[in-house]
């Protein structure tokens, strides 16, 4: 276990290093000389590191107290990180990077899903704040940022590298607007300095004949009605796996033939409207008889207060013989996008149906109003096309028919 004297005598080295205390508590010494308390723990089997504060602002005794509080939360099944989302009232605005980060985060998080907000916090606490958090933003150079990114690059975490760089860039742009600095040091760091990320896509089936076979395999399978109908519904309306799995009855409006996914369940926290075809309505009618009085359209087996999981959809595909390299639940979206484009459906309409939202809110609202009536037509055409694929009679679906 550490003592106050040992901590005070810790000197910076060429690389960040860590000294352990006990029960996951440790102190990190950054190249800059900053000393940061961190707590390492496992939540649902996943290793997590949480920043507890800087020494001496947070004393050894206070750090141990925070660690013990985290342990108590873990015993209750609560992830301490979820209790640590920063509040704008917790600090005074200053030129320090960490304070500019907090201001930017709190102004941005309202348009994010909670899961995304937690990920941003975790990445900043792990990769940015320990190294440049106590630096005035105007003194941070591209070399400081490059050192952080090279460390991530050396570990092969290429997606994390781009995300961390993006977070830093947003904070610097925010600081420029606030008048604390005049430039963004991430701007002149080219991607060619890092390993090239291998592009991977969700496996999808786009050959019409094989799509028909997939639909027949699902319909003729021994899967539970919940999973079978959820997979078929995904094919028709191509929502994301978590969106279809957690579909609520109060999001379904059969009188208007639409589904309105609540903002908090969407990736960009904006309501998503899904026009329903005749085929989609039939699936929903079947699930009303099956799900009874539960709040979910696709309830979990034997658990009226739970819904099926995205993993159960994936496992359903595996059970009927489709490997990860052949088809994924997310692949239904790619399948729809590819085939709809081949049917000469406008890209703007397809993107709107996929909930690939415009970042410009005014433009997004305009597009919503402009495309909804067109999307009703497209979704019915799509369902009719799927039926033709399933019956092996898809050749009658010429492009002229689909766009009449």
State the Cα–Cα distance between residues 18 and 32, nearest whole angstrom.
Answer: 14
The Cα–Cα gap between 378 and 295 comes to: 29
Burial class (CB in 10 A: 0-12, 13-18, 19+), 359: exposed
CA dihedral 365, 368, 370, 372 (to 10 degrees): -160
SS3 of 268-293: the string is CCCCEEEECCHHHHHHHHHHHHHHCC
Put simply, whether the predicted model's pTM sits higher than 0.75 gets the answer no
Strand partners, 259: 252, 274
User: Residue 151, CB half-sphere, CA atoms under 13 Å: how many?
Assistant: 17
Do the beta carbons of residue 259 and residue 269 sit within 8 Å?
A: no
For helices 225-237 and 208-219, give the axis angle rounded to 10 degrees.
150
pLDDT by residue, tens only, the chain of 404 residues: 999 999 999 998 887 789 999 999 999 887 777 888 889 898 877 777 787 888 988 899 999 999 999 999 888 888 786 665 443 334 445 688 998 999 999 888 888 877 788 889 989 999 999 999 889 898 999 899 999 999 998 888 888 999 999 999 999 999 998 888 888 999 889 888 888 765 556 889 999 999 999 999 999 999 999 999 999 999 999 999 999 999 999 999 999 999 999 888 887 778 889 999 999 999 999 999 998 888 999 998 765 678 999 999 999 999 999 999 999 999 999 999 999 998 889 888 999 899 886 544 444 444 455 588 899 999 999 999 999 999 976 555 544 444 44
Q: Which domains does the chain have, with CATH numbers?
A: 4-193 (3.30.160.390), 208-402 (1.10.443.10)
């Amino acid at each position: 276990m550490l003592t106050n004297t040992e901590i005070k005598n810790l000197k910076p080295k060429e690389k960040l290093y860590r000294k352990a205390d006990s029960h996951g508590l440790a102190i990190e010494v950054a190249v800059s000389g900053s000393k940061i308390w961190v707590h390492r723990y496992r939540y649902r089997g996943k290793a997590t590191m949480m920043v507890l504060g800087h020494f001496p602002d947070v004393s050894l005794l206070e750090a141990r107290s925070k660690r013990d509080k985290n342990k108590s939360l873990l015993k209750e099944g609560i992830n301490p990180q979820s209790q640590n989302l920063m509040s704008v009232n917790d600090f005074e605005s200053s030129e320090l990077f960490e304070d500019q980060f907090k201001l930017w985060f709190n102004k941005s998080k309202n348009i994010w899903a909670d899961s995304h907000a937690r990920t941003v916090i975790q990445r900043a606490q792990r990769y940015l704040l320990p190294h440049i958090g106590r630096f005035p933003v105007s003194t941070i150079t591209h070399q400081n940022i490059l050192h952080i990114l090279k460390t991530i690059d050396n570990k092969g975490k290429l997606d994390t590298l781009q995300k961390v760089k993006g977070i830093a860039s947003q904070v610097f742009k925010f600081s420029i607007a606030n008048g604390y600095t005049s430039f963004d040091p991430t701007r002149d760091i080219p991607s060619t300095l890092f390993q090239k990320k291998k592009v991977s896509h969700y496996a999808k089936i786009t050959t019409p004949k094989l799509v028909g076979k997939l639909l027949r395999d699902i319909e003729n399978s021994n899967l539970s009605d919940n999973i079978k109908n959820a997979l078929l519904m995904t094919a028709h309306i191509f929502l994301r796996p978590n969106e279809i799995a957690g579909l609520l009855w109060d999001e379904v409006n059969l009188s208007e033939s639409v589904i309105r996914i609540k903002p908090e369940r969407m990736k960009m926290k904006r309501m998503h409207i899904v026009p329903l075809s005749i085929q989609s309505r039939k699936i929903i009618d079947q699930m009303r008889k099956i799900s009874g009085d539960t709040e979910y359209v696709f309830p979990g087996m034997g658990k009226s207060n739970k819904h099926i999981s995205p993993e159960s959809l994936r496992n359903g595909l595996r059970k009927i013989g489709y490997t990860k390299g052949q088809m994924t639940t997310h692949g239904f979206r790619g399948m729809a996008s590819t085939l709809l484009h081949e049917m000469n459906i406008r890209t703007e309409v397809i993107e709107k149906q996929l909930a690939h939202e415009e970042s410009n809110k005014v433009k997004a609202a305009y597009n919503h109003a402009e495309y909804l009536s067109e999307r009703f037509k497209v979704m019915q055409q799509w369902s009719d096309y799927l039926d033709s694929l399933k019956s092996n009679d898809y050749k009658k679906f010429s492009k002229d028919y689909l766009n009449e």
